[in-house]
Structures are given as C-alpha cells and as structure tokens.
Amino acid sequence: MADRIVLYGDRDHSSPYVFSAFVTLEEKRIPYELKLLDLGKKESFAPPYRDRSITGRVPAIEHGDFFLAESSAIDEYLEDVFPPPRYAAVYPSSPRERARARQVQAWLRSDLMPIREQRPTTVIFHHRRPAPLDAAGAAAAERLLRAVDQLLPQGATSLFSSFCIADADLALMLHRLIVPGDPVPERIRTYAEAVWRRPSVRKFVDLERPPQPTH
Ligand SMILES: N[C@@H](CCC(=O)N[C@@H](CS)C(=O)NCC(=O)O)C(=O)O
C-alpha cells in the first residue's frame, strides 16, 4: 500500500504557502488528509510538529516516515515523487521554463513585502477591507504588475504553455490587489481570474473558515 500523505495547514485556511501545497496535491489528484493547526495558539511551534517540521511553520507534509516543510520544496518533492505523465505536471518540463517558474515562486516568497503586509490574505479569504496602499505598497504593486506584464504572453492564461504551480502562487499575489479593487490591467486580471477558476484553486478558496481569523 502506498504511503499516506498528510498536509498540515492552518485552521484559518489563510496561508498562501499552504495554498500552494494544497493546489499541487489537488492538481495531481493525490489522496491526502488535511490536518489543521491553530497558529493563534502557536500550535506549529509545539512538539512534535515543531521538531518534525524543523521550522515550526505550515505547510508541511508527512509522507510515510518523511516530513517536509517549506511550500516550494513540497511542490517540487511532490512533482518528483508523483511525476507526469501518470500525474499532472505542476512544473514545466523545459529546464529554462522550470527555472523561471522557480524564480517566480522564490521571488513571491522573498519580496513584495509591502503588498503582503498591506494586503494580507484575509483580504481575499475573509473579505477584510484594507486601507489604501501607501507609497511603498503602490511601488511594490507597480513592480509586481511590471514583472507580470513582462512574463505573461499576450492573451495567455498561464505563464508557460500550460498551468504550473507558479501560476497559482502568482494569481494569489495578484488577488491581493484584485479583490480590494486596486488597479490591475485587464489582461493581467483576466489571467489571474482564469487561474482562480481552476477546480484545485476553487477548492481552497471555498474551504469553510472560522468567521474571525485566529491568526
Ligand atoms: N517560506 C515558508 C513560509 C511558511 C510560513 O510563513 N508559514 C506561516 C503561515 S503563513 C506560519 O507557519 N506561521 C506560524 C506562526 O506564525 O505561528 C513556506 O513557503 O512554506
């Protein structure tokens, strides 16, 4: 029997990183169990999760006796262990496109802090109304939109020839602007909304959430 997979997420379903691992599992149609931690109660920093995940952060997956945290490492592990063509691909096959997808993922996780701070995912998933972006937020939004304009082929609904997990991560970042009504050019909005309609993404967006985020 195949090793079972457990995905550890946050009780609020508001982590963009859990989102990424969740979408990968759903795209690949891998059976898994979702276990939720209450980050408001610092459950991820309590043993045994703290020690098994090493970082004390969500997401992590448990696959048999292997435990792994860090969302993009999880996405890549799942791509390696459940590869195409038997399972849907979540990374492009060409080395350059694959590298570009990883670049986008790394960038979204390490930059654009003013957007992440002023447009937290509660704006998307808990319909919180944010204040207008300040100058730093507007500058970060401009950098994001300029990068997407450069990366996205005209009329495309994915960065490469078919969907990859960087599209999901990028669409989430764009929805931080789209949902509260910040200006986003039409073709970029069309792209992000197409990604947002994927069943894997919808399943995460439609998860039942506590009325008040705990974290
Ligand atoms: N770089 C990590 C970031 C993970 C992360 O920051 N997770 C947050 C939730 S969004 C967390 O676990 N926070 C624990 C806490 O603050 O109590 C990844 O990509 O997985």
Question: Mind listing the pLDDT tens digit for each residue in 29-68?
Answer: 999 999 999 999 999 999 999 999 999 999 999 999 999 9
pLDDT band (50, 70, 90) for residue 212? confident
Q: What is the mean pLDDT of the chain?
A: 97
Quick one: which atom of ligand 1 is closest to the CA of 45?
Answer: 17
Ligand 1 centroid – CA 19 distance (Å): 11
Point out the least confidently predicted range of 31-40, 109-118, 205-214: 205-214
10 Å CB burial of residue 181 (0-12, 13-18, 19+) is exposed
Instruction: Give buried/exposed letters for 59-97 (b at 16+ CB in 10 A, else e).
Output: bbbbbeeebbbbbbebbbbbbeebeeeebbbbbbeeeeb
Identify the pLDDT of residue 1.
52
pLDDT band (50, 70, 90) for residue 189? very high
Identify the pLDDT of residue 2.
79
Q: Is the pLDDT of residue 215 over 80?
A: no
Model pTM score: 0.97
CA distance 77 to 67: 11
82's tokens: 């459940």
Q: Is the pLDDT of residue 124 over 80?
A: yes
Quick one: average pLDDT of 153-159? 97
Q: Ligand 1 pocket test: which of 53, 57, 61 has the largest number of ligand atoms within 8 Å of its C-beta?
A: 57
CA distance 176 to 61: 26
Q: Residues enclosing ligand 1, CB less than 6 A? A: 10, 15, 17, 39, 42, 44, 57-59, 70-72, 109
Longest dimension (CA), the chain: 55
Among the listed residues 155, 84, 147, the one whose alpha carbon sits nearest the alpha carbon of residue 111: 147
Quick one: average pLDDT of 114-136? 95
